[in-house]
Amino acid sequence: MKKLRRKLQRIAKRRIVFIDQSNIELGAKRTRALCVEGQEAKVAVSQGQWYPKRVDMMAAISYDDVLGIETSGPTKRRKEKRKGYRKIDVLNFIRLRLAKKLPKLRVPNMTFCMDKALKISQEEVLDALKDGGCTVVEHVVVLPTASGKHLSPLDNCLWHQVKHRIREAQPHTEHATEQAIKAAFKAITAEQIHAYYRHCSLTRGQNVNKDLE
């Protein structure tokens, strides 16, 4: 992992794009509450905590912005007869959403980073981008198992910020949860993303263009 981090550190940060998937419990509630001192806070729920319905989310970020966010609730998954994101779903997101966004950044020779959970190869990602008309991505990096927690700004720890905002909104329905997810991503600033890149030790200095030297 140290070798891969050093490799990413040598790339100008505006040339690195990250994509990742996560999920949150449908109608997620706040994780803290007030109660009488010495007593345990109790929350009424409609189902056991081990069987929660969830909303899946997939997002991609560049150094300065969120490039795309997609949600998939239980209704959509039942309709499509799937349990979660599949390889084809991720490749479609790359081909139909990201392939159109990346050229607009006007950044050449980009590096595309993702985890290996769905066993998507570098060639499949490049083919999906080319099929969507994107030719600015030069390299695809498939992060080793468990390394995303250390190397990906999405996994460490932008997802945490997004989920915290969703819980604060306290959505009660599937639609409201999906809207809260999109609102949470819309509220993310470039400065916050920069901080997550630094948190993952990807930025060596304050001037990101210096990394080209």
Report residue 28's pLDDT band, with 50, 70 and 90 as the boundaries. Answer: low
Q: What is the mean pLDDT of residues 176-185?
A: 94
Domains of the chain, each with CATH number or no CATH:
2-27+54-205 (3.30.420.10)
pLDDT of 44: 61
Report residue 85's pLDDT band, with 50, 70 and 90 as the boundaries. Answer: very high
CA proximity to 20, closest of 46, 56, 51 = 56
Q: Is the CB of residue 74 less than 8 Å from the CB of residue 54?
A: yes
pLDDT of 156: 87
Report residue 1's pLDDT band, with 50, 70 and 90 as the boundaries. Answer: confident
The percentage of residues in the chain with a pLDDT greater than 70, rounded to a whole number, is: 87
pLDDT of 212: 39
* 110-149 burial: b if 16+ Cβ within 10 Å, else e: bbbbbbebbebeeebbbebbeebebebbeebbbbeeebbe
pTM (two decimals)? 0.84
pLDDT of 118: 87
